[in-house]
Structure formats: structure tokens, C-alpha cells
Structure 1
Amino acid sequence: MGVSCDLEVDINGEETFMVDKEVLSLYSGRIKKLFRKSKGVTKGLKVIFNDFPGGAESFELMARFCYRRGKFDVNPLNFSAFYCIAHFMEMNESVSNTPNLVEQTEKSLEEIRYWTWSEIILALRQCQDLEPVASTSGILSKYFDSLCGRIAASCAEPSPCPSSSSPDSSGFRLSCDTRSTESLKNNSFRATSTWWFEDFVALEPHWIEMLIKSMESKNVDHGIISRFLFYYHKSSFATATTDAKCKLTEAVVQMLQSLDLSLVSFKSLLGMLRVSSNLNISKCCRNQLEIMIGSLLDQATLDNLLIPSPAGTKYLYDVNLVLRLLNSFIGKEACCVALTRLRKVATLMDLYIAEVAPDPSLKPSKLLALIRALPDSARLSYDGIYGAIDIYLEVHSGLSEEEKMRVCGGLNYEKLSAETCNHLTKNRKFPSKAAAEALISQKSKLKSLLHETNQPNSYKPSPSSLVGSKGKAKKDESCQQIVLYAGKLDISTENQRLRAHLQGMQWRVLELEKVCRKMQVQMTKMMRSRLSSQNNAKSLPRLCS
């Protein structure tokens, strides 16, 4: 059959080819359909393709295949292009019992398990120029399925360098042109299961999403997947445009959400939040990222939370962010959070509150919100909160008595130690009403202890409960220590002495009650005097120790 050039083909505006219409129609169902009604026309035929996969270079490969009557070798170097061309041009026409291009590429795809790692990676990278056909034809899912299967196998291998996955293995051989090759030869690096990271960092985010889904289907460890996502974000972030950084961050956050968060690094999540703080990422994405960080708050350190406040705010640290993280940690049901995790976060928050308390711009409402963000059961003691409030009142000396009392509302006096209560009653920075409440609380605890002591079956502690960490008895003058120690005494020899001690303590309670009543009367008189004269109130007398 003679060859003529009766068809002009414009490929994506890049280049124009003059080809034989009949030759291409023999193999391309798409060309045959286009000219089905133009038989006999030999001049002025033209086709324009604006979305030809791979552009002019791929069309030239297709033309060669047709002119050579389908006798063209398909190998991993050109496989992706031929596969996408075959589907785009509907090349399912067979000539002289020669397998058509669709059949040849499908057969080659069935043998992908015999390809080396480097061959699949090379074929995968070629698909970036073959979009959108590469995504719709199913070739990408085949590539990712094969690659992820090998990643899962390597992560599960007990030996860091098995013979089945050595660089010389026919079933799993790495390319010489990828940077991961030399890294894979290093046993210590391979042992971390991160040898494959570099081979995927150049891929588009929507391809990475396909990769992650394939990994999850192969049961790849979520901790390894999350480490790759953070590596991918960091590697791509530096050279990306501002708009690309936003899209990249949003895509990675979305993918991280599908993972088991207990295996995701808190520090890496917080780092992602920090680098994206100046980006215009969507509010939904930022909320999702903060929720993930908040759910892992028990893994945080004090330095992690000391984040400078955003530009335009007066606070030294971003207190609002920490409040949002606390809300995410607690969630809708505080009772669902393990008590050990709650108390770990409470200890961290006591340190954080003490750190931000000296901030002159910190409002009482914000300090109180930080204290009350966790349920009361999270703290065994409020001594740390008392110390933070003490610092706050010292810096914010201009607060009114009402504002001071509002701040002190964050204290649980029942969970203050005797030493702290004693210190509070002498602390001039605290309002007198707070000192009175501390005394009342201690009186209540003392009455309760006295009542328990008078019971016939009162609790007798073990000797270990009365010994400190260094093996010495703790010297505590509080009534609790006295009562507990009394329970240890030999009643036959010490009964009279114990009774005398208890009577003295009861007398002290009565005296404290009288002092409290006097203070309440004085406070009432002073409040009335303020309302009438609007003069400066005289300071209340402090209790004697």
C-alpha cells in the first residue's frame, strides 16, 4: 500500500504533523471515527488535538508504531506513553493478526511484578506529562499498588538487608539514577523504613493521595506513612509558591486525618502549624490541624506551647491557640479522656500558666479561662495555680478587689495544702475574702479529720505513708499529719497526750471561726463606706500567724 501525507495533525499547538490518514485509521479507532464520513476526500484534512497525552513526542511514538505495522518494542522506558496513547486514541484495531497497542500494553502491565523498582519509578514519573489520561486510564493505580506492596514487604522484613530486595534482585532492583539507591545500600538507613521517601517527593499532591490510600490498603504502618507526609511537606514547601504552599498544606493535613493519630508525631504537627501560620490556608484546614494537635496535647512540652502571639496582638504568647488546643483535647466529653492523660496535661498547664502570668497584657478573663479549661478532677493540688495567681497579682497590682476575687475564683481551696493556705492568709496581694475562704476551707478539712479520728474504726495508715522520699518522716504541722500520726500511736500509753493535742486543735478552730466572723463584719462595713463616701478603703488587718 502506498504511503501519502493527506492528513495534517496539530498536537496541542506545539507541532504539526503530516501523516497518512489510512495508516493511522488502521490502528486508531478514534481517527477512523473522525473520517468515517469523509471517504474519497484526499485534500484539506486536518485534526487538532489540544489535550494529546505527552504532546508532540508521544504522537511521534504513535505514528512510528502505525507505520511499522504494530511491530514496535514496548518497554518500561516508553510504556507509560504507549499505554496512555493507546487509550486516548482507542488503538484497539488489530491488523494481520498483530496484537493492537491496547493488548500489548495491557499484557506488559500484567508483568509489572517482574519490573525493577527503578523501572516502575521511571514509568511513574513519565506519567506526570501524560495527564489527565494517566489518572483516568488506571495505570497510576497499578504502579502505586506494585510499589506499595514492595514498601510493605520491606517494612515487614526482619532483616535490614534481605537478598530478595537487594539492588541486584530481578524482582526488586533499584535504579542507578535515583538518590534513594545509594541510601538503600546503607543498612542503618534502610532499617528506618524511609529509604523510599526521596523517590516520591517530586509527585503532585493528588498523586500522593493515591499513594497513601494504596499504602493503607497494604497495611503499611501509619507511623511510617505520617513520617513520609511530613518529609514530603518539608521537601516541597521550600521551593513552592505561596499559593502552592497553601494547597500542599491543605492536602497533607487532609491525608493525615485518615491515619491513626496516636502514631503521628505531635512535634511534627505543631511544626506544620507554625510554618503555615502566615499562609492563607482555609479555616477548615487550620481547625483540622489544631484538632489533631490538641488530641495529642499530653505529648507536648512547655517549650512546645510557648508560641509567640500573632502579629497585631498584645499578648506575649498565643494564649488563644493554647485554649483551642485544650478544648480539642477535652472534646465534647471530658469523662472520655483517661485520667492519667488529663493529669499530665494539667501538670503541663500549671507550668504554662505560671509562664504567661507575668504578661502585663494578659487579661484576668484569659487567665481564668486557662485555669478552668480542664475539669477539677485533673488536678490533685492547686498549689501550682496559687503560685501562678500570686505572680499574676504581683504584676497586675492595679486590679480592683472585685477583679482579684474573680481571678481567685480559679482556685479550689479544698485542694490547697496547709502550707499554701497559711501563705495565702499572710499574702497582701490576695484579697482578704480569699484569705477568709482559705481559712474556712482548712477549718472544714480539720473538722472532717477530727470526725474521722473519733470513729471507732478509723483508718490507720501504713508506716510507708508517713515516710518521705528520702526515708525520713515529713515534718508537717498540719492537722492532717497530726491525726494520721496519732493513729499510729500505742493507745495504751499515748491516749491522754493525743486527746490533749486534739482539744487544743479544736480550740484553735473556734478561734479561727471568730476571726472569720469579725473579718466578714469589717468587710461589710467597708463596702458600705465605699458606696457612701467613694473614698479609698482602709486595708483590712491581717491575721497573725
Structure 2
Amino acid sequence: MKKFVVLGNCESESPLGGKSNRCVVVAANVPILAHSLERTQRNWFARSNSPTDLIVQVGDYCFHLHKLAMASRSEYLNRLVFQRGSNRERAGDSLIIQLKNLPGGKKTFELIVKFCYGRKFDITAANVAPLYCAAHFLEMNEYLEQENLISKTESFLTYLILSSWRNTFRILKTTESISPWAKDLQIVKRCSEAIAWKTSSIPNASSLSCEDKEHLNAQASSINVVDNWWFEDVSFLRIDHFVEVIQSIRRRGIKPEVIGSCIEHWTRKWFSQVIFGLDKDTPKPITLQLHRISTECLINILPTEENSVTCNFLLHLLKAGVMLKINPELLCVLERRVALMLEKCRVPDLLVKNQGEKHSFYDVTVVLRVLRFYVCGLSSNHSAKPNIVARLVDGYLTQVARDENLTMESFKSLAEALPQNARYCDDYIYRAIDMFLKAHPNLTAEDRSDVCRKLEYHRLSHEARQHVMQNDRLPLKLTTEFVLLQQVNMATSMTSNGSNYRRTNTQTIMRVNTDLEKRQIKNAKEINMMRKDVEMIKSQLLEVNSCKIKLQKQFKRCIC
């Protein structure tokens, strides 16, 4: 019976940085002992007392080995070596076997060769996952040999996942190149569940290594938030592994707002500045296809609870989704979600930056999409408060109107997105219009009139009307109209006061006339007073009319 002896655990440098546990394995009583394993360019040779009779091709590399040494531990190789058939390739006395899609490639197969020939090698966090998958690929199970490579790697893999926070991430990182096998063999799931368990239990967990504790202390000092000490480590994961971790964390009952913040942190880390404008420190360029897939995955894993994600982050996701042309149904999901949040948003929540000098500083098209979606739902949402959203939009317009690159079409579309009755008054929209005209002094008179088309005299406060009549940035036609309306309003007010008095007296006379049979008019002075009032009103109306004619003549001269 052959035995494999674990020489012990010690510390070794990991390829991913830092120190990690390792398991040193040596086999005894192997069928063939190799004096040495030599490499010559792309060829490996197992030197022993007997000549090699097996050539295993892994990619561009050839391993010159012995059938007995390899087939005694791999059921897969055993079948290939001893199967009958005359169509097998040979090179002299050696049988040629090609191993296609071996997990881990030639580096992993080098370790497997060492294992089969009884030579020492280290199992570490950097190679345990590829070794475990390759051992399953080659069917190195207990049926052929006790404590075969599957069982050895399984034991050490379990130990690392359960005992070390950092090694769990190292293992996940190494599975990226062997993703299908790592997923089928539950390595990704086991690592994700271990991360979720430690996320929900740390810092109370006492089973952490000293290395992990030092690492987490460094994270805590840099982040200064109790709930998100693990964000930075999770943000290095690839999108598929990140999704798996988030789903495991959600099953652990972590607060939705913490999960939402983690997703936002990952997005800032990975998405390019061109699409998000969030972070200058981005990794290597990611293809548009990966961006598209990542965006769709992120939308699908967003927590649905209220206030679990910010409106600003959802708008950034919506912007990325539009640019990347993701699934339209997912775009509608984002639009609906932001629309439902508008009544609780602030102006900074709507600010999504653009990139490039030719574009406006803020992306107003993404806000316009949400506003149109909100307006479409007003008829079915009886609890909606459009006046609150109108105040928000007016504040947003005031903010973005200062940008000289903002087009008139974009400004008008935003200003007219909500129905007229959504605003109690036009004071705030007038302020935004004034800001826009100030930032765009080269607009033609026709364009300025078009921008101001939404302003109405009766919807402005007295202070706003006074400002309009003195504002030289507004089109002359508008200021003249406001002056005329102001004069008419004053005259009407004066007339109204007089009319009330006369109506009171007239009603008295009517009552007296209807009761002539009962009594007679004793005060003839009232009739004379009424006659004087009528004459005074006629003269006032003539004055107002003449003033109107003069203003119209002045307006025509200015136009000419």
C-alpha cells in the first residue's frame, strides 16, 4: 500500500502577494521513481532507470513520461493508455496523448507529474484550485490509490477556505482561468459562502489568522466604516464571482443598504471613466461587451428594498445602459425605479457628469428619460405629488442652466417635460430661464422668445413680475407685454374698487325701486354720486387706452 505523507504546514510567498499556508506533499513507494525532471525548451523529461514510453502534450509542451507512473494514479490516462486500437499516435516506442482543455494548463500538469513520480511539491492557495480541477479532469480518485490527488487537494482547499479570509480571495482569483470547472465543482460557491459567513460574523470571528487580522485592521483604518470593511476586497472580484458573493451575502441577511453600497463600490472600481465618470483609478480597459454584461448583471442583483441604492447611482447605471444598448426591459426597470424616487430626491442626486468638452457638463438626457417615464405614470398614480417633482426639476434646471454647452433644445425639453399644472407658480422656472439666458448671451431674439414661451404673467409673483419688466436679457416683446398687463391690472384693480362701491349703491337703488310701492327714495344725493363715479371710470378707461396705443407705437418703432 502506497502512502502520501504531509510533511507539514509552513509559510511561503504567494503569487498574489503576502504569505499563505502551504501543504508539502511527498509520495512513497511509487511505481517508478524519477531521478530528475528536466526541461529543454518546450519538452520535459522524466529521467529514470527505464526509458520513457509516454508523451503527453499539453498545449505546446511535451512531457516525456512513463505509462505506469501516470496511469497508476489517473483513471482517465489509464483508459487512454491501455485502450485497444491501432489508430493511436506514436513516436517510436512512445504513445502520444493530447490533453486538451486541462484546467491550469502546463503549470498544473507539471505539479501532477511531480505528484505521480513521488517528488515534493507545495500545494498553496495559488495552485490548489487548478490542481483540484485538474485532478478531477484526470480522475485521480481513491479508486486507484488511497489519498490520491483529489482527496489531498480537497482537504487543503477546505482548510484554506474556512480558515483564511485572504486565501479565500486568492483561490477565487485563480479560478478565473478555469471558470467552468471551478463552477461545476462548487469551488466558487464554497468561497462565496465562506466570504458571506465571515462578512456577517467578523469582527466577532475568533478563527482568523494573524495575517487576516492585520489586513482587516488596515482596511478598517482606511475606510473608517464598520459595515463596509470588506468592500475593497470584494471589489477585486470578477463580475460573475462578485454576483455569486452578493447572492450569498444576501442569503446571510446583510442589510440591503450595505449590499447596495457594495455594488456601487464595485462599479466605481471596475467601470471605465468614459462611461461612468466616477473614478480615475480604473483597472485595465474592459471591452464594451463585458461592460454590457456587467451592467445587466448589476441591475439584476440590485436590492429592491427602498433606499437600498441611491438615485444618483441608478442614474449612472441608466446612462451606462443607454450607451451600451443593454436589454430595453432592464432600462425600463431602472427608469421606473428612479421615477418612484423623484419625490424624495434632491438636486445633487440628479447630477450625472458627462465626459468631453463638446458635451454639457451634466447629462440631462438621462434625467429627461426618467421625467417622461414619471409623467406617463401620473394618470395611474393617484398619490403622486407632481408639485414636489416640479420644484426638483426647476432646481435642477437652475443648476445646469449655467453651462454654456447646454443646448436650448435640452433646456426646453426639461422645462416642458412636466404638465403646466404641476407648478404652483413660475417663479423658480423663471429663475432657471434667466440663468440660461445669462449663460447664452448670443441667442437670437427668436430663440430667447422660444425659451421664454412658458412664462405666464398670472403665474408669477409680484416680485418676479417686477424683475421681468426690468430684465434686459428677456425679449422686448415679453417685457412690453408684461408692462401692458401690469397697467391693465392696475386699472382693473382701481376699477374693481370703484365697481364694488357702485354695485353696492346700485343694488340699494334696485331694492328701493322694487319697493317703490312701499317707500320712496329720500336721498337724491346717492344718484348724483353714482353719476359722478360713472364719468370718472370713463375718463380712466380713456387714459389706459391712450397709454396702450403709445406703447404699441413704441414697440413697432423698436422692431423696425
Q: TM-score range by the shorter chain?
A: 0.5 to 0.7
Alignment of 1:238-253 (within 5 A): 238=281, 240-244=283-287, 247-248=290-291, 251-252=294-295
Q: For the structure 1 residues 329 and 264, does the alpha-carbon distance in structure 2 shift closer, same or farther, using more than 3 Å as the test? A: farther
Name the CA distance, whole Å, in 1 between partners of 2:411 and 2:214: 52
Counterpart in 2 of 1:55?
105
Counterpart in 2 of 1:537?
556
Counterpart in 2 of 1:265?
310
Shift of residue 406, structure 1, vs aligned partner: 4.7
TM-score of the two chains, using structure 1 as the length reference: 0.63
Aligned partner of 2:192: which letter? F
Unaligned stretches of 5+ residues in structure 2: 1-29, 33-49, 273-280, 498-529
1:28 alignment partner, one of 65, 74, 80: 74
Counterpart in 2 of 1:529?
none
1:385 alignment partner, one of 429, 435, 452: 429
Is the contact made by 2:56 and 2:63 (CA closer than 8 Å) also made in structure 1?
Answer: yes
Identity of matched residues, %: 23
Is the contact made by 1:424 and 1:435 (CA closer than 8 Å) also made in structure 2?
Answer: no
Shift of residue 143, structure 1, vs aligned partner: 1.2
Aligned to 1:91, the other structure's residue is in SS state coil
Counterpart in 2 of 1:83?
132
Alignment of 1:111-126 (within 5 A): 114-126=162-174
Counterpart in 2 of 1:468?
none
Aligned partner of 1:62: which letter? I
Name the CA distance, whole Å, in 1 between partners of 2:113 and 2:463: 91
Is the deviation greater in 238-247 or in 256-265? 238-247
Aligned to 1:16, the other structure's residue is in SS state strand
Aligned partner of 1:382: which letter? D
Shift of residue 60, structure 1, vs aligned partner: 3.1
Counterpart in 2 of 1:399?
445
Larger-gyration structure (1/2): 2
Counterpart in 1 of 2:351?
305
Aligned partner of 1:537: which letter? K
Structure that is richer in strand per residue: 2
Matched, 1:153 2:153: no
Unaligned stretches of 5+ residues in structure 1: 155-160, 450-502, 527-534, 541-545
Name the CA distance, whole Å, in 1 between partners of 2:493 and 2:73: 94
Is the contact made by 2:480 and 2:555 (CA closer than 8 Å) also made in structure 1?
Answer: no
Is the deviation greater in 440-449 or in 243-252? 440-449
Q: For the structure 1 residues 438 and 516, does the alpha-carbon distance in structure 2 shift closer, same or farther, using more than 3 Å as the test? A: farther
Name the CA distance, whole Å, in 1 between partners of 2:539 and 2:104: 90
Name the CA distance, whole Å, in 1 between partners of 2:490 and 2:77: 94
Shift of residue 6, structure 1, vs aligned partner: 1.5
Aligned partner of 1:117: which letter? W
Alignment of 1:418-497 (within 5 A): 418-421=462-465, 430=478, 432-433=480-481
Aligned partner of 2:416: which letter? R
Alignment of 1:408-423 (within 5 A): 408-411=452-455, 413-421=457-465
Aligned to 1:219, the other structure's residue is in SS state coil
Aligned to 1:51, the other structure's residue is in SS state coil
Shift of residue 147, structure 1, vs aligned partner: 1.4
Shift of residue 144, structure 1, vs aligned partner: 0.8
Q: For the structure 1 residues 363 and 16, does the alpha-carbon distance in structure 2 shift closer, same or farther, using more than 3 Å as the test? A: closer
Counterpart in 2 of 1:232?
266
Is the contact made by 1:53 and 1:81 (CA closer than 8 Å) also made in structure 2?
Answer: yes
Name the CA distance, whole Å, in 1 between partners of 2:126 and 2:284: 31
Aligned partner of 2:455: which letter? L
Q: For the structure 1 residues 300 and 290, does the alpha-carbon distance in structure 2 shift closer, same or farther, using more than 3 Å as the test? A: farther
Matched, 1:255 2:298: yes
Is the contact made by 2:103 and 2:130 (CA closer than 8 Å) also made in structure 1?
Answer: yes
Shift of residue 251, structure 1, vs aligned partner: 1.3
TM-score of the two chains, using structure 2 as the length reference: 0.62
Name the CA distance, whole Å, in 1 between partners of 2:442 and 2:539: 30
2:215 alignment partner, one of 180, 188, 194: 180
Shift of residue 382, structure 1, vs aligned partner: 1.5
1:192 alignment partner, one of 212, 220, 226: 226
Name the CA distance, whole Å, in 1 between partners of 2:225 and 2:436: 50
Q: For the structure 1 residues 432 and 48, does the alpha-carbon distance in structure 2 shift closer, same or farther, using more than 3 Å as the test? A: same
Is the deviation greater in 50-59 or in 330-339? 330-339
Q: For the structure 1 residues 180 and 361, does the alpha-carbon distance in structure 2 shift closer, same or farther, using more than 3 Å as the test? A: closer
Matched, 1:323 2:392: no
Q: For the structure 1 residues 99 and 229, does the alpha-carbon distance in structure 2 shift closer, same or farther, using more than 3 Å as the test? A: same
Is the deviation greater in 292-301 or in 347-356? 292-301
Is the contact made by 2:74 and 2:138 (CA closer than 8 Å) also made in structure 1?
Answer: yes
2:419 alignment partner, one of 375, 390, 398: 375
Counterpart in 1 of 2:57?
10
Deviations 1:472-497 (A, max 9, x none): xxxxxxxxxxxxxxxxxxxxxxxxxx
2:395 alignment partner, one of 351, 358, 363: 351
Aligned partner of 1:349: which letter? V
Q: For the structure 1 residues 306 and 212, does the alpha-carbon distance in structure 2 shift closer, same or farther, using more than 3 Å as the test? A: closer
Counterpart in 2 of 1:283?
325
Name the CA distance, whole Å, in 1 between partners of 2:352 and 2:295: 25
Deviations 1:184-229 (A, max 9, x none): 675x957522222333344323322222232233333333233333
Name the CA distance, whole Å, in 2 between partners of 1:114 and 1:363: 58
Aligned to 1:537, the other structure's residue is in SS state helix
Shift of residue 252, structure 1, vs aligned partner: 4.9
Alignment of 1:123-138 (within 5 A): 123-138=171-186
Aligned to 2:246, the other structure's residue is in SS state helix
Aligned to 1:52, the other structure's residue is in SS state coil
Aligned to 2:211, the other structure's residue is in SS state coil
Q: For the structure 1 residues 149 and 413, does the alpha-carbon distance in structure 2 shift closer, same or farther, using more than 3 Å as the test? A: farther
Name the CA distance, whole Å, in 1 between partners of 2:417 and 2:493: 26
Name the CA distance, whole Å, in 2 between partners of 1:515 and 1:99: 113
Name the CA distance, whole Å, in 1 between partners of 2:406 and 2:237: 46
Name the CA distance, whole Å, in 2 between partners of 1:39 and 1:45: 12
Aligned partner of 1:91: which letter? M
Aligned to 1:430, the other structure's residue is in SS state helix
Counterpart in 1 of 2:95?
45
Is the contact made by 1:226 and 1:256 (CA closer than 8 Å) also made in structure 2?
Answer: no
Counterpart in 2 of 1:494?
none
